[in-house]
Amino acid sequence: MGDAVTSLSPPLAALREEFDATTRRLHALADPLDESDWGRRPAEVKWSVAECIEHLNLTSRAFLPILREAVRDGRVRGITSANPSFRLDFVGWLLLRANEPPVRRTRIKTAPSFVPPSVEPKADVIREYERLQQELIALLTDADGLALAKIKVRSPFNARMGYSLYSALRVIPAHQRRHLWQAEQALAAIRAAGR
């Protein structure tokens, strides 16, 4: 892992570490759980640990084609830079701020396509999370050398919302931390209710 991280430019290596850290956090949370606690909701209107993680998988599946196309387009159009700017645009800054836990406002309406339709077995969901994380990490390598702040993408959550490719890459691990935090809160509530 060390060589892959150091071969990336420092801002992308830091993003790689963020993706690795969310995967470690997922394992610390989910590995000890049995299937019952994995799928149990703390309340009728709150997601279970399983639903939080499956939501992240749905999000990564939606983002990856958009990000891959943006990287491809950036290469074709030659949007490269020896010293690219790694700055969030305004929308990226707002999204990062809204997603970083601890979340001030926990209830945000999720688009139906990002609501998990069912509770899947823990091993399957975690394996898919890891696979998607590896695809996101591979995308960082593909994107290295591009002027990521100059390449624009559309949000998979709202096609009217656009931001830079760099902002999207920063928001994804923040969104993962948000829902891992939500899953930790759900588990704490389940355990407190079981006492």
123 Cβ contact partners less than 8 Å away, ≥ 6 residues apart: none
Average pLDDT over residues 84-92: 87
Please tell me the pTM assigned to this model: 0.90
Per-residue pLDDT at 10:
93
Average pLDDT over residues 22-41: 96
Per-residue pLDDT at 25:
98
Average pLDDT over residues 107-121: 78
Per-residue pLDDT at 105:
61
Per-residue pLDDT at 56:
97
Question: How far is 28 from 23, CA to CA, in rounded Å?
Answer: 9
Per-residue pLDDT at 104:
66
- The CB-side HSE value for 190 (13 A sphere, CA atoms) comes to 20
- Find out whether the peptide bond into 102 is cis, omega within 30 degrees of 0: yes
Q: In order of start, what are the domains of the chain with their CATH numbers?
A: 2-193 (1.20.120.450)
Stretch among 20-34, 47-61, 73-87, 120-134 having the lowest mean pLDDT:
73-87
114, 67, 95, 99: CA torsion to nearest 10:
60
Angle at 15 between CA 14 and CA 16, to 5 degrees: 90
Nearest CA to 22 out of 116, 99, 113 is that of 99
More confident residue, 23 or 111: 23
Residue range 121-173, pLDDT digits in tens: 999 999 999 999 999 999 999 999 999 999 999 998 888 889 999 999 999 99
3-state secondary structure of 154: strand
